[in-house]
């Protein structure tokens, strides 16, 4: 197994542009320990950042992730203490990745919402927060640790081991089928599925058989009995027209993300003489999230080396190990390599 470097000092940027070679990645998949991350916490990084402070106000955080939280960094989660109000409020968190490369990620609140905001970038150190737009209401942002761990190099994962046991690896999108009989559609009902991995709901499709009447009813999606906002389709029961829809807020967020074992449910409202209808749900796993190749990076793009979210629940003692194959590719501008696209820093 690769031994993580212990000589990377704070303030020293060891990022290598267009990095093409690393001896430890020379012979196929290399074992990397991502640490023994502690349980997800709402306030582990900072208990309170004043959200309605004047724009450009800085809040010192000075937090370093250890191997007990993520050897190569960890994503953040932000919890508003209450409704941020009309402006929502926006702020940036500045820090460094495991290479000492400066980085920043932007978080924006939503009027009327107290939902958790989930970060995409893996921080090794957090230095400070800077208010971009003050929230209307006098609230605080709580800064904590997320579910996803940073990876050392850009590439792909071949296998994963959690707590000494090899686990299934879900790393590409897949579809779950929810077949409803004529009776199920007519009476209304639901079909449930148990999530095998962490991820989020991407797209709902509906394909009617065409043997029903002109009376149609909607189908929605629920995760642990909570409806995914904006995700609904109404199949035209007397045709075979494909219908589809996506959540109001796409991607990995509080309303459509799930953990292994969570119940994902397609709920069909009652109608008359409906005919058979097949629904399918596209799932995007986040057990492995691919490196983001956007160049230049922005404050809201994903991590340039990708992230890993375990099947196991973080408990501070379960070690996460992955088998990584490096990808030294770079784009037409000569940017990329094993260290990925350079982080945005302002």
Model confidence band, residue 26 (pLDDT cutoffs 50, 70, 90):
low
Who contacts 99 (Cβ-Cβ below 8 Å, separation ≥6)? 8, 13, 14, 15, 339
Secondary structure of the chain as H, E, C letters: CECCCCCCCCCCCCCCCCECCCHHHCCCCEEEEEECCCCCEEEEEEEEEECCCCCCCEEEEEEECCCCCCCCCEEEEEEECCCCCCCCCEEEEEEECCCCCEEEEEEECCCCCCCCEECCCCECEEEEEEEEECCCCCCEEEEEEEEEEECCCCEEEEEEEECCEEECCCCCCEEEEEEECHHHHHHCEEEEEECCCCEEEEEEEEEECCCCCCCCCEEEEEECCEEEEEEEEECCCCCCCCEEECCCCCCCCCCCEECCCCEEEEEECCCCCCCCEEEEEEEEECCEECCCCCCCCCCCCCCCCCEEECCCCCCCCCCEEEEEEECCCECCCCCEECCCCCCCCC
Residue 273 has a pLDDT of 76
- Hey, what domains does the chain have and what are their CATH numbers? 23-168+287-326 (no CATH), 174-285 (2.60.120)
Residue 235 has pLDDT above 80, yes or no: yes
Segment 163-190, tens digit of pLDDT? 999 999 999 999 999 999 999 998 999 9
Segment 243-295, tens digit of pLDDT? 999 999 999 999 999 999 999 999 999 988 778 999 999 999 999 999 999 99
Residue 214 has a pLDDT of 78
Instruction: Please state the φ and ψ torsions of residue 272, each to the nearest 5 degrees.
Output: -130, 135
Least confident of 1-5, 292-296, 303-307, 320-324: 1-5
Residue 232 has pLDDT above 80, yes or no: yes
Segment 68-100, tens digit of pLDDT? 899 999 999 999 999 999 999 999 999 999 999
């Amino acid at each position: 197994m690769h031994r993580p470097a212990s000589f990377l000092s704070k303030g020293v940027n060891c990022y290598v542009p267009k990095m093409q070679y690393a001896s430890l990645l020379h012979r196929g998949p290399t074992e990397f320990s991502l640490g023994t991350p502690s349980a997800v916490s709402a306030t582990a990084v900072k208990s309170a950042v004043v959200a309605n402070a004047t724009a450009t106000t800085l809040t010192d955080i000075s937090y370093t992730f250890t191997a007990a939280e993520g050897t190569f960094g960890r994503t953040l989660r932000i919890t508003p203490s209450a409704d941020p109000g009309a402006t929502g409020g926006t702020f940036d968190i500045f820090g460094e990745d495991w290479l000492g490369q400066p980085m920043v990620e932007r978080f924006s609140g939503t009027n009327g919402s107290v939902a958790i905001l989930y970060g995409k970038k893996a921080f090794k150190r957090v230095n400070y927060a800077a208010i971009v737009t003050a929230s209307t209401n006098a609230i605080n942002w709580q800064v904590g640790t997320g579910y996803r761990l940073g990876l050392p190099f850009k590439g792909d994962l071949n296998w994963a081991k959690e707590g000494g046991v090899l686990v299934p690896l879900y790393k590409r999108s897949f579809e779950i089928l929810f077949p409803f009989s004529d009776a199920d559609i007519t009476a209304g009902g639901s079909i449930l599925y148990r999530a095998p991995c962490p991820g989020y709901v991407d797209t709902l499709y509906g394909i009617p058989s065409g043997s029903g009447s002109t009376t149609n009813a909607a189908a929605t999606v629920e995760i642990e009995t909570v409806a995914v906002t904006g995700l609904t389709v109404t199949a035209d029961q007397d045709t075979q027209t494909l219908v589809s829809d996506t959540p109001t807020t796409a991607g990995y967020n509080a309303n459509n993300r799930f953990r292994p074992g969570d119940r994902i449910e397609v709920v069909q409202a009652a109608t008359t003489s409906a005919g058979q209808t097949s629904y399918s749900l596209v799932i995007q796993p986040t057990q492995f999230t691919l490196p983001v190749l956007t160049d230049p990076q922005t404050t809201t793009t994903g991590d340039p080396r990708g992230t890993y979210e375990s099947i196991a629940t973080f408990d501070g003692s379960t070690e996460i190990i992955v088998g990584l194959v490096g990808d030294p590719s770079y784009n037409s501008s000569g940017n990329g390599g094993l260290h990925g696209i350079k982080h945005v820093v302002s």
